[in-house]
Amino acid sequence: MDLISYSAPHRLLTVARGHPYDRDAFHTLTDGLDEFDICHVEQPVAQRLLNPVTATQYDALLCYDMPGVDFTAAEAPGMTVPDETFRHDYLAMLEAGIGVVFMHHALAAWPAWETYADIVGGRFHYRAATLRNTEWPDSGYRHQVTHTVSTVGQHPVTAGLPENFVMEDELYLCPVFENSITPLLRSDYAFTDSHFFSAAQAVAGNMNSRDGWSHPAGSALVGWVKHWGNSPIVYLQGGDDATAMGNPYFKQLVHNALRWVSSEDAHTWAREQRQATTPAAPAG
Q: Per residue in 206-264, pLDDT tens? A: 999 999 999 999 999 999 999 999 999 999 999 999 999 999 999 999 999 999 999 99
- 282 within domain boundaries: no
- 284 within domain boundaries: no
Q: What's the pLDDT score for residue 62?
A: 98
- 180 within domain boundaries: yes
| Tens digit of each residue's pLDDT (9 = 90 or more) over 121-169 | 999 999 999 999 999 999 999 999 999 999 999 999 999 999 999 999 9
Burial class (CB in 10 A: 0-12, 13-18, 19+), 160: exposed
**Residue-wise DSSP of 173-203:** ES-B-GGGSEEEEEE-S--SGGGSEEHHHHH
- 95 within domain boundaries: yes
Q: What's the pLDDT score for residue 276?
A: 87
User: On the CB side of 82, how many CA atoms lie within 13 Å of its CA?
Assistant: 21
pLDDT value at 268 more than 50: yes
Give residue 272's domain range: 10-277
Q: What's the pLDDT score for residue 232?
A: 98
Query: Could you tell me the CA-to-CA distances from 26 to 20, 43, 64, 203 in Å, in that order?
Result: 11, 15, 9, 24
Q: What's the pLDDT score for residue 76?
A: 85
- 15 within domain boundaries: yes
- 5 within domain boundaries: no
Give pTM, 2 decimals: 0.94
- 3 within domain boundaries: no
pLDDT value at 284 more than 70: no
**Confidence label for 279 from pLDDT (cuts 50, 70 and 90):** low
**Confidence label for 73 from pLDDT (cuts 50, 70 and 90):** confident
Work out how many domains the chain is built from and give that number.
Answer: 1
pLDDT value at 105 more than 80: yes
CA atoms of 58 and 103, how far apart (whole Å) = 18
Q: What's the pLDDT score for residue 75?
A: 85
| Tens digit of each residue's pLDDT (9 = 90 or more) over 8-57 | 578 999 999 988 899 999 999 999 999 999 999 999 999 999 999 999 89
Q: For residues 68-94, give the mean pLDDT.
A: 93
**Confidence label for 2 from pLDDT (cuts 50, 70 and 90):** very low
- 178 within domain boundaries: yes
- Could you tell me if residue 71 is left (phi over 0), alpha (psi between -120 and 50 degrees) or otherwise beta? alpha
**Is the peptide bond between 52 and the residue preceding it cis, with omega within 30 degrees of 0?**
no
151: domain CATH number?
3.40.50.880
Q: What are phi and psi of 198, to 5 degrees?
A: -75, 125
| Tens digit of each residue's pLDDT (9 = 90 or more) over 182-212 | 999 999 999 999 999 999 999 999 999 999 9
